[in-house]
Amino acid sequence: MSNNGGAPYGPDEPTSFGLQPPRPPVAVPHPGNPYAAPTQVVPDRQAPQEPGTGRLIAGRYRLLGKLGHGGMGTVWRAKDETVDREVAVKEPRVPDHLPERERANVFERMRREARAAARLDHPAVVNVHDVAVVDGQPWIVMELVRGRSLGDALQEGTIGAREAARIGLEVLGALESAHAAGILHRDVKPDNVMLGTGDRVVLTDFGIAQIEGETNLTDTGGFVGSPEFIAPERVVGQRPGPASDLWSLGVVLYAATEGVSPFRRNNTPATLQSVLNATPAAPNAATGPLADAINGLLDKEPARRPDAARVRTLLEQAARPPEPAPTQVVRIAEPGGRSIRVGRKGWIGIGAVVVAAVLAAYLVVADPFAGPLPDNWEKKDLKALGATVAVPAGYQKTVPKPDAAKDEHWVQFTDLSGSLWISLTLAKKAEDTSGEIAGSAAAEMYDDDASYRQSGSYGMDMDSEPAPKSKPDPTTYKDRKAALNTITYSTTDTEYPRPREIQVLYYKTKSGDMYKFMIGYPGKGDFTERGREVARTAIANLDIDTL
């Protein structure tokens, strides 16, 4: 019961969730969500009806319109004419060319979906009303959840930590109910978490759930589910348990707060490798108990993951509103020796003058790049890239050749020795016809890192022996989310391999353009600290015209 009708994970899914400021989820209709129902339907009398609209199923369910479809079925909005209520009806969708055995497996999986959900009595599990058999095929009739999926919400922005913890608590409750009934969900992901009206959260799609005691429908040697959310033990073929579903919940919470799925890569094999071996960057937006819950759930070893009771305690702490600061009463002497009581607001007003003075003094000494550039530095206005960069005086400028492709937007400045260089590259959204720009700066950073692991190079003279080391780190640029990666490596010079280090700042504008600001320098020796100083100064003084 996923929001695409049960479509399997594939290359058409977005590469990441966009990193945007937290905003509260709003329960609104979404055209890609098969459970979403508009609060008001205004029929377009000019538009032709979809084939099948108006059909009566099992003598009582009138199909009103399609809500979504995927690999396993089409979900319809329908009216139960017997009790006069709207429902969601999932129609089996099986290609005609499938062998009879595989068709039977699809039908059996849908029956299990209905049985698994029907066995659970929890407000965070979608209610199954009926299974209507039409021409030997099961049609699942369930409640119509008005809202949208968490996956849809994350396409618009990340979720605040408290809201993520609240959603996590509801999903955890659904999983606890399922596990108590001997059911493993096996496909917990944002697209299967519905955000309904009235702050309701519903876990959907038990289509690949494993019910204790029933035969596995999965082909020998294969697995089902979305790779980036599958627990490591499932990837290597070990028997899953409740801890496997809890791992998936940890990935969902990470993606909801950080805006990027921690293990998603460019293809399925790379994604599975990252699930097994990659350590995600520490949560940035999630702190305190929520970060503890995420970090614990993403432990590669199932036995070391916190159990549901411990996760519930942490999420309850993270979802709890902050306690108001206690009122402070201070006595200040009046002229003549008397004293007066000052409450918290008054104390803030009196202290603001002192705090402002201290803060002003701090800013003068704490930010060495807030004032004029260091001596022998100069700013370069790069109108073609919509940015201004600062470089040491004397660096030589290199730009694309006149006959280069029109989508080559970059510039590089190199010192005369060739040891230090600064480059800025711009990938324009308007020219990204193949969808190569990731959904966020962090996602672009992880994609680049994964591409290196696959191809062996960032496009520079990196030797694969020994393998370069990356240190990805979420950061900010002008108070907006960005990403910074530091890579150490050896050059491919067989006779005289040189240790090198580069820093790459990733920043994605509101319009979808992606900037990559790179500084390269020797990784060891007298010029290493100089290179790092150049990197700090250049990054601090980067100025992009349109954020």
Percent of the chain with pLDDT over 70: 69
Candidates 187, 292, 449, 513; catalytic one: 187
- Would the annotation count 401 as a binding residue? no
Q: Which pLDDT belongs to residue 479? A: 82
CA pair distance 158, 192, nearest whole angstrom: 17
| Number of Cβ within a 10 Å radius of residue 526 | 7
Residue 150 has pLDDT above 90, yes or no: yes
Query: What residues does 499 pair with on adjacent strands?
Result: 490
For the beta sheet containing 387-392, the strands, ordered from the edge strand earlier in sequence to the opposite edge, are: 377-382, 387-392, 543-544
Q: Could you give the C-alpha distances from 59 to 73, 133, 140, 476, in angstroms and in order?
A: 20, 11, 14, 59
C-alpha triplet 112, 30, 284: angle, nearest 5°: 90
Q: What one-character DSSP code corresponds to residue 75?
A: E
Residue 128 has pLDDT above 90, yes or no: no
CA nearest to 169, candidates 17, 368, 316: 316
The pLDDT tens digits for 17-26 are 434 444 443 3
Q: Which two tokens stand for residue 296?
A: 């614990």
Residue 364 has pLDDT above 80, yes or no: no
Q: Could you give the C-alpha distances from 335 to 145, 332, 342, 347, 350, in angstroms and in order?
A: 67, 10, 16, 18, 17
Q: What one-character DSSP code corresponds to residue 511?
A: T
CA nearest to 152, candidates 268, 55, 245, 26: 26
182-186, 437-441, 536-540: which is most confident: 536-540
Query: Would you call 121 a catalytic residue per the annotation?
Result: no
**Residue the block writes with tokens 């922005």:** 157
> Measured over all CA atoms, what is the biggest interatomic distance in the chain, rounded to whole angstroms?
99
- Taking each helix axis from N to C end, the angle separating 308-319 and 288-297, rounded to the nearest 10 degrees, works out to 150
DSSP 3-state of 453: helix
Q: Which pLDDT belongs to residue 349? A: 43
Q: Which pLDDT belongs to residue 445? A: 86
Contacts of 435 (CB under 8 A, 6+ apart): 15
Tally of residues, the chain: 547
Burial 466-479 (b: 16+ CB within 10 A, else e): eebebebebbebee
**Residue the block writes with tokens 């600062």:** 390
User: What does R_g of the chain's alpha carbons equal in angstroms?
Assistant: 28
The pLDDT tens digits for 24-67 are 433 333 344 433 343 333 344 444 567 788 999 989 999 998 88
Structural domains in the chain, CATH included, are 52-144 (3.30.200.20), 146-211+223-321 (1.10.510.10), 377-544 (3.40.1000.10)
The pLDDT tens digits for 205-215 are 775 555 544 44
CA pair distance 339, 349, nearest whole angstrom: 18
The pLDDT tens digits for 433-480 are 878 888 888 888 887 877 665 554 454 566 556 667 888 887 888 888
CA pair distance 179, 173, nearest whole angstrom: 10
Q: Which pLDDT belongs to residue 78? A: 93
CA pair distance 318, 166, nearest whole angstrom: 8
Taking residues 168-181, report their average pLDDT. Answer: 91
The pLDDT tens digits for 68-114 are 765 567 888 999 999 999 998 888 776 566 677 766 776 676 666 66
